[in-house]
A and B are shown apart, each in its own frame.
Chain A
Amino acid sequence: MIDILFILMLAAAAYMAWNIGANDAANSMATSYGSKALTLKQIIFIASILEFCGAFFFGSRVTHTVGKGIVPIQLLDPHIVAIGALAAILSAGIWVTISTYYHLPVSTSHSIVGSMVGFGLAAVSENLIDLESIRWGVLYKIVLSWIISPLSGAVLAFIIFSFIRVLILARMEVEKVEGIFRYLQVLTACYVAFAHGSNDVANAVGPISATFGFSETPAWVLALGGLGIAIGVATWGYRVIETVGKRITELTPTRGFSAEFATATTVLSASYFGMPISTTHTLVGSVLGVGFAGGLASVDLSVVKRIIYSWVLTIPAAAMLTISLYTLMVVFL
């Protein structure tokens, strides 16, 4: 029975990883396409390799938090953990797919955290664990990191672009500066891909790691996640990169560099602290930061409201979906 559950879980995680690669990775890489720093092929090449590297070499901390940090899995039967983990990945995948269809700016990170909370609550309702044994402290830190990360992106991007503006753009020919930053943006594109892989891989494989109990998550789990993301970028992400990239052509290399550097630094720091944050929301914060520093012709603040709505919606929606799926599976499996 556990074998079937495990295979299903791998499939669901692979789908989630693919979705993350196709959409989130593509969005963060589109900034390099919009500024024409890289061609589509180059971006896909860089994204596939560095997303994988980030996931494989630096993805374990966030994976640990998602899989083992929220629900006290050591108190639960392995069979229950397997069912819960499967329900969590499935509902995160379903929720992300539905809300993407309706153009809600949801985050895969928020979805998976909401799902794990749902799993925990389902276990509580079955009297398998106490409500207090769910690690609310960790959850509190995670929610705090969701608020801090877009702000950090905005502040960093604001500072970086202001420096570029005052120290470089004001003194040198614009074309020359943009030319130089076109090359630098190749580096930040790699940086973003690596950071994104290190943080978002957990959204796909975090629940799998839960089934391994408190032993170390095997490297192949992270490799599976990294591979799924890379394939997502290559098979669907290029369309997203093209679509998004065409709409953000005003992100010139200096602006793109600032936004990417701020995003990648924030996301990688979050990975270091094991916090599953939203790369997309951080990127939105960073772009707004560049806008506030006077770097863009126009930024639309209404997107912030939509992001906050989708936060508030995602946690209960993902949690309830998980509870439903979990209950169904417990009854039928």
Chain B
Amino acid sequence: MKYTARIISRYTCDTSGVCSALYELGGMTVMHDPGGYGSIYATHDEPRWYDSESLIFVSGLTETQAILGDDTKLVQDTLQAARRVQPKFISLTGSPIPAVVGTDFEALAFEIENELGIPTFGFDTDGMHTYVAGVSKALAMVAQRLCQPGQSKLAGVVNILGVTPLDFSINGSAEALTQVLSDRGLTVQANWAMTSSLVQLEAAGAASANLVVTAGGLKAAQILQDRFGTPYVLGTPYGPNLTDTIVTALNLAATTGENQSVINVPQDTGTIIIGESLTALSLATAIFRATGRGATIICPTESETEILAYGCLTIRDEDDIESYLHHADTIIADPMYQPICPPNAKFVPLPHEAFSGRIYHSTMPNLVTELPEFLAAQNLD
């Protein structure tokens, strides 16, 4: 791949994905980086930054430390900060230079945990993967290390996995995910990881089924299935019709113990949706149910084969994406893709925080509760 982009934006990276996923859980996340990643995250990736007090800091890695492989300052500064702010857990994340010099984050985490007695985790993020990989690693860590065993299964109780502002912004979508399931008789044990506390996530094993709403939640679902035998359903509840089907699938999964999916998108090159794999597939499914039109999904972010198999093309280069758009009559994507779209195609802007950051905050739709209005406004119904 050429990895060139003349004009389109870039998805935020795995390090930001870790930070975003863990933001509301009371931990302290340290980015081992010279400084830029902290500013990028706080400015473009984290709409909760201004008013909340989440403990996300940067190590201030220097050339000398990197060349000498000297992790002493990182460890000592992390210990000092943790003693001051008393986090519930600590996460160490990487960036390109620690990756190049081979920083062993798991070993450093072990050292810090031994010193403080606070659960500490090392993530080998390197800034060269998309945020989906980071969200996935972070939520998988929660599922593996922080969820408590010995939970009794409760009928009608579910977790929602893979929720961050990078995919759902802060426009009410996260709250709506819980609400639409509650409205249909389910109880949400925990929303992973917006609007729920660490205590709620720790008791996730009580759920009888899990709902995976983005690719970032799948690994956690698989771990929860291994640890607690909880089956999962793939699908994002966009609109009442698809949400009804998801609730049915959750109940079926809980009853049978078998994983389920609500994704069903006939391939159609006339309509192209660009975005994160599972949310894009879910939107395509909802549109298909509403209109009978299929779609082609272009997924420039990482995902799991289990999701991609439902019909995603994994294309990342601007040139390659552009070539797929030539024959489309309708393109649904973040507005920063519009410059490479053919002018005669109908462009439906769907801002995506992980791609265009805060630029289109005011127009990001809440597709969980406002899908019919969105489709009508764009003449897609």
Do the two chains bind? Answer: no
Residues of A within 8 A of B (CB): none
Residues of B within 8 A of A (CB): none
